[in-house]
Amino acid sequence: MIRYLAACLLVLFGSAEALASQVTFATWNLGWHMDQETVQQWISECSKNYVEDPPTGKFKPSQEAGFKQGWDIDAFKIEGWDVSRLPVCNVYFAGGTVRVSLDAYRKRQEQITHFISGSVPADIIAFQEVSGEQSVREVLPNGGSDFDFCPITGYKVQRLVIAWKKTLGEKVSCAIEDALSLPTNPEDKRPRPGLAVTLKVDGKLLRIMNVHLKSSCVSPFDGGNLEGTGKDCMILQQQIDPLESWIERAAAEGAKIVLLGDFNRNLWHELRDQRPARTDATGTSSPRPAGVLSRSLIEEVADGQPADANLRILNEHCQINDAGQSLCTEAEIRDLTTPETQLLASENYLGCRNPVGLDHILVGPGINSDGPAEHLSIGNLGSTRAGTPNGKDQVLAISDHCPMIARLTF
């Protein structure tokens, strides 16, 4: 009788390992986000006086007449400015660079914490443009005590961190994917690395890659041609092969794959570009011949070969009114006009300056989505106000991106 009951239960419910696991993912670029200690150093350095050395065009700290504060200078022109330690000074803008106060930054951190707690019910969050693990801990509910972390250390200050709830599963590995940073390139042509974590969830391997790819080569519809000669597009072109290599390696051993983050590329526009994906018109499922360039990042990395690594991009939806959703749909088909983008970025719509087209979530075989990926509105939290000098009315945007969230089963 016991064996009979056990057999019936097995038929009805399957084995424990066969049951689907449900995990909610989010990706969010927090826009030069820093921890409190780094913020204090940053404000101090940006508030210093600098004077230009005409022969070199560089600025040096000085108490001489004719100085400028760091807030008013391109940080890359300040002698000795270390972008592996501190962001540039003109992160926040409201009719000019905002001279950030520590109180306003603390208020921004509190707003991010409240927003995550109330609007981002995710088990796994992939962050971009953060200074490190501590900066993420400071904005997660309960100081991040319910999360484990996989962070990037070193590199430039726009780093990646993956955070997941401790109750979700066991960490198998956490690795910086240096190949995506193109280490053989000169320093000024090196983009950010990737960040990969492998978790064991309900006995199943889940491999996640968080990316922040090269910027300023957004769409073939606005002149961002991957096969072009522009510096940024040439760098993004170079990131295709290491990204595809990780995907194919990650699919080994039956692992499930999620690739997400800020791609700085409108993948929907690539899919709607009628030109061949490669400059020699060969199919993307075969190795790319030497000298042949790609026009489509997504068609290279999601080429169906091998089958276990065949990624698909999740459909995207905007959690706003019908007019806003219509604009989100249009943005996948064509370049929005400036007024359309401004409307979608306004506080009654998505609220973030980069509302759609950059952030995506891709999943591999065996992963299903409970509905589309959602662009979450941050409303008026995406606005910056300079306020009065040293006043309490200064307000800093929590980000220039909106978070994206997806509920997945595997």
For the segment 55-62, the average pLDDT, to the nearest whole number, is 89
Higher pLDDT, 76 or 112: 112
User: In this predicted model, what pLDDT tens digit does every residue of 165-221 receive, in sequence order?
Assistant: 999 999 999 999 999 999 999 998 999 999 999 999 999 999 999 999 999 999 999
In the DSSP assignment, the letter for residue 87 is -
Rg (CA), the chain: 23
CB 226 within 8 A of CB 295: yes
Domains and CATH numbers, the chain: 19-40+96-409 (3.60.10.10)
Q: Which residue has the tokens 């961190």?
A: 161
Q: What percent of the chain has pLDDT over 90?
A: 83
The backbone torsions φ and ψ at residue 376, rounded to the nearest 5 degrees and listed phi first, read -90, 135
The band of 389, judged by pLDDT with boundaries at 50, 70 and 90, is low
For the segment 114-137, the average pLDDT, to the nearest whole number, is 98
Tell me, what's the pLDDT at 334? 95
What does the alpha-carbon distance between residue 245 and residue 241 come to, in Å, rounded to a whole number? 6
Whether 229 shows a pLDDT value over 70: the answer reads yes
Whether 162 shows a pLDDT value over 60: the answer reads yes
Q: Which residue has the tokens 């409240």?
A: 114
Reading the block at residue 317, the tokens are 């939806």
Beta strands 22-33 and 58-61 are unpaired
Sign of the four-CA dihedral 214, 220, 226, 230: negative
The band of 319, judged by pLDDT with boundaries at 50, 70 and 90, is confident
Q: Which residues pair with 368 in a beta bridge?
A: 409
Choice among 3-12, 51-60, 283-292, 369-378 with the minimum mean pLDDT: 3-12
User: In this predicted model, what pLDDT tens digit does every residue of 6-23 receive, in sequence order?
Assistant: 444 444 444 444 578 999
For the segment 71-97, the average pLDDT, to the nearest whole number, is 91
For the segment 261-269, the average pLDDT, to the nearest whole number, is 98
First to last CA, the chain: 33
User: In this predicted model, what pLDDT tens digit does every residue of 269-316 receive, in sequence order?
Assistant: 999 999 999 999 999 999 999 999 999 999 999 998 899 999 999 999
Alpha-helix residue ranges (DSSP H) falling in 181-230: none
The band of 64, judged by pLDDT with boundaries at 50, 70 and 90, is confident
Choice among 51-55, 323-327, 372-376 with the minimum mean pLDDT: 51-55
Find the helix or strand (DSSP H, E) in which 257 lies.
Answer: strand 256-262
Tell me, what's the pLDDT at 75? 86
Q: How far is CA 289 from CA 23, 77, 279, 280, 296, in A?
A: 39, 40, 10, 9, 15
Whether 3 shows a pLDDT value over 70: the answer reads no
What does the alpha-carbon distance between residue 370 and residue 368 come to, in Å, rounded to a whole number? 7
CB 91 within 8 A of CB 105: no
Q: What percent of the chain has pLDDT over 70?
A: 94
Whether 102 shows a pLDDT value over 50: the answer reads yes
Tell me, what's the pLDDT at 18? 55
Reading the block at residue 4, the tokens are 């009979």
Q: What is the mean pLDDT of the chain?
A: 93
Whether 66 shows a pLDDT value over 80: the answer reads no
Q: How far is CA 380 from CA 59, 88, 212, in A?
A: 36, 24, 25
